[in-house]
Each structure stands twice: as C-alpha cells, then as structure tokens.
Structure 1
C-alpha cells in the first residue's frame, strides 16, 4: 500500500512537539540558542505549539522553518504511542524521543520512494521500489521496541541504491544524463554558465551557490544542501526529488519555477532579478533537515 501524501506531511496538531524536544540545536545562523537533545525548546508552549511560530525567521530560528519530519511526528505520537504524550506520561519521554529519531528517516525514505514511483521507472525497478516501500512502511508500523532495535542505516543504504538507479534512469531521458556532481562541494560557486540539465547533484553542497536563471530539468537534487542558494529566475519545475524543505532553505523570487506540488516560500523576494546582487558568503551552522545520503 502506498502511503497517502497527507501521511508524509507534518501534522503538528497531532504531534507532541517532538521536533522541538528530541533533537539538539546548535547556536548558529539556523538557531538562536544551544539546546541539548531531549530538552524542550524554550519556545514550546504547554499545548505543544510554538510561541514564536509566526516570527521564527525574525527571531533567529530559520532552521525550524525548513525542518520537515515527513509525517513521522504524528505517527510516533498517535500510532506508536497511542496518543499518550510525554508530558502526561513522562516515563515514555526518552523512549518516544529515541523512536522519533528512528521513525523520521523511515518516513523520509517513504517520501523518496513515493517520488521514485511517480517517475514511472521500468517494470522490474518499479516492482523493487514498491517492495521497498511496503517494507519501509512495515518497519515504521512496528512497536517502539522493534523500532529502537532497527538498523536504520542499513535499510537506508539498501533503499538509496534503488533511488540512485531510479534517478540515473530519469536523468538519462530526453537528451541524456548530464554532468556528475554527486557530493560536490559547490559552496558559494557561480554556476550560471554550467549546464546542469540532467545533472547528478545528489548530496551536493550548494550553500550560497549562484543558480540565478539556471535550468535544472531532470537534475537529481536528492539531499542537496540549498541553504541560501540563489534560485532567482531558476527553473526547477522538472527537477528530481526536490523537497519543500530544500526550497524553503533557499532564496528565490516570483520568476523561480517550481514543481506544481511545491509552494513558493513566503520569505522569497518578489523583486526582479536585476534589483539584487547575490551573496557569496554561505551562512555558518548546519541545516537540521537531513536527506538520504548520496
């Protein structure tokens, strides 16, 4: 059974603020404070809402605005723990936070597998992807004890091999695969004169890169770090495996073309390209949202 799209999107109203408690924050351009793992953020409200949700960027928490649990939070809260929250049942807190750390990469894989199937790969590969999707969903449906004993990295490695094959086949369509920049360090680079159509950019570091006006049709952006990348006027409408959190972390404008399933971030500038000059300095710190490795 293919998980519903809604099940792979965060539903904070059905979660217990797990992303505001379970992970550690490091004071940086992404977060205004240090927070140890397992300690609630000081902005977390008693009802598990965020006290500064409408001002996160202005208050120094852009990392929170680009984090996505892919629906793992509500699954842990409502399915694995049956709706018992860690405040009302504090004895569940440590286990719940550890389960969330295992569940999130599984739901991330579910999202990528769903995207891979939508690319209509050959029958044999489609069957392998469908089997991997079913197995990943089965693992995510396990008990807390089962999830804590799961070797998530090993499972992710097997699934990523399928995703990489799917991406390579999709990149090779309509003109052939482009350049291989898998895992490349392209921080702050001016890429406007490089042909990136059909390129392999899995895991590439594109922090602060200048991609103004660049066409990224059939480019595989799995896990690419797009923090502060300048996408003004770029065409990402046909990019592969592009997630909303990557778009939210970048810079763009009204001329930036996105896939229909993605929304234009509210913080993107609406000014024309000529009115801006790109920043060459990438921000310090690290992005909390992670993606399958390249």
Structure 2
C-alpha cells in the first residue's frame, strides 16, 4: 500500500521527538533552558507531556506554537519502524537528525498542497504535483537517504514555484504597489505594532513581513501572501484570513484572535483564543 504522509501532527504516534531533538533557551516563550538532544523534564515515560493542558500558564507558550507538520509520527513509525530512541539508544542521534530534515520536507509539502490547488496555470499545478511526489519519496526513504537529500535545492525550487503561484493569485486583486502611511505593504515590511485594522489588504504581498504586535482586527486578508510572515501577538480578531496565501498553524498559534477570526479550512482555532 502506498504511504501518504499526513501533514498534521499526531503526538500519540510519536516518540516526543520535538520535545527531545530540539533545544530552547529560557525566554518569554520557555520557562527553562533545554539543550538540544535532551528530553524535556515535563516529558512522561510514555512520551506524553505532563503539563500539556497548562503549557501557557507554566511559561511554555513556545510549545503551543510549534508544529512539526506531521514529521514526528512519520520518523517514529515509518523511518525507525516504531522503535523508540529509548529502546534503541544508538538510534537517538540519527532519529533526531532525520526529524529535522523531514520537518522541513513536510513544511514544503504543506505549501505545495496549497499551491497546486490555487494555481490558475495548469503547468504550475503540474510542477507542484511533481515536486510533491519527489519530496514525499524523499521523506519516506531510509534514514541515510533522508540525510543525503539536497534540502537547499528543494527549498529553492519550491520557493520559486510558490512565488509564481502567489503572483497569479494576487494579480486579480490589483494590489500591486499598494501604499500605506507607514511606508508601504511589501515583502519583508517592518510593520511591528502597525495599526492596520479594518483595512482592505486583499492581494497584498506580506511575505516575510514583521507583523509582531500589529493590529489587523477586522481586516480583509484574502489572497494576501503571508509566507514566513511573523505573526507573533498580531491581533487578528474578526479578520478574514480564510483565503490568505501560505498561512500555517504555527503562525496562527503565535497570533491573537477570537471566534470571529476566519481561517482557512485546514487550520484550527487555537485553544488560547477561546
């Protein structure tokens, strides 16, 4: 049977790889320092989180933002055949290294899925499908094959495609060159703390923009390219993001919103919004 990796995390099928492989420093997002390749002290023996329901009040909001795009269960159950790094300590370094690569591959698959669906040009859609197949094959390979993948090349190819599809989708909204009083809406714009409430932003390019603490309440972000935009503490109450481009769950988890915030179908409303 052909394996089709899910892009949604299933922690019940993972060996808490993200809670172990990755490190973090004590900050507003994490209450403690944790070196990479070390188990989080909040991890239980069955790989569950002992404070999962209390992460934010306990100072671990960074954990609630993180999303592996389903890489954890794929690496745990497929690449390493359901044998954990606890049962096979020698697999630990390899498993963690593979996880970091597969997470990148799955994030690319997330974007490609949307690009294929929204492309107007059949050739762009076909390119997205081919890239998806290539990356799926790589992510499903043996550990050595995953680690040998040319992730940089794949990133470049995917990025080029995403930009072409973005230009297609945004073109119909006539937002090219749209200016704002603070200097303009453009890729990489510094809009930290900006007041963009109740704005018609449809078709704008905010790829890689800094929107930390910005106010986008009740604004229309249909076909707005948000690839890599920093939405930490961005106020999205009542905003329409249902048709935005390249939005991810981690971006939404890092933002602030409410039940009135309209999200793309494949994203879920974060628990801390409610």
TM-score (norm 1): 0.86
Give yes or no for the alignment of 1:252 onto 2:251: no
Instruction: Give the SS at the match of 1:93.
Output: helix
Aligned pairs, how many?
267
Which residue matches 2:182? none
**Counterpart contact for 2:115–2:165, Cα < 8 Å:** yes
Which residue matches 1:56? 55
Instruction: Give the SS at the match of 1:145.
Output: helix
Which residue matches 2:231? 226
CA 1:249–1:147 in structure 2 vs 1: closer, same or farther (change >3 Å)?
same
Which residue matches 1:183? 188
Q: Equivalences for 1:119-134 in 2 at 5 Å?
A: 119-134=118-133
Which residue matches 2:34? 35
Instruction: Give the SS at the match of 2:271.
Output: coil
Which residue matches 1:272? none
State which of 240, 248, 259 in structure 1 corresponds to 2:245.
240
Which residue matches 1:99? 98
**Counterpart contact for 1:23–1:37, Cα < 8 Å:** yes
Alpha-carbon separation, structure 2, partners of 1:30 and 1:113: 29
Q: Equivalences for 1:196-207 in 2 at 5 Å?
A: 196-207=201-212
Which moves more between the two structures, 63-72 or 253-262?
253-262
Which residue matches 1:167? 166
Instruction: Give the SS at the match of 1:187.
Output: coil
Alignment RMSD:
1.8
- Name the structure, 1 or 2, with higher relative contact order (CA <8 Å, separation 6+): 1
Instruction: Give the SS at the match of 1:211.
Output: coil
Instruction: Give the SS at the match of 1:86.
Output: coil
Cα offset for 1:67? 0.8
Q: Equivalences for 1:69-148 in 2 at 5 Å?
A: 69-148=68-147
Cα offset for 1:259? 2.2
Runs of 4+ in 1 over 3 A off after TM superposition: 174-180
Deviations 1:177-222 (A, max 9, x none): 5645212222222223754211111111111111112111110111
Structure 1: 5+ residue stretches without partners: 270-294
Structure 2: 5+ residue stretches without partners: 179-184
Deviations 1:87-144 (A, max 9, x none): 0000000110011011100000011101111114311111111111111111112211
**Counterpart contact for 1:35–1:41, Cα < 8 Å:** yes
TM-score (norm 2): 0.92
**Counterpart contact for 1:171–1:178, Cα < 8 Å:** no
**Counterpart contact for 1:178–1:200, Cα < 8 Å:** no
Which residue matches 1:279? none
Give yes or no for the alignment of 1:266 onto 2:265: no
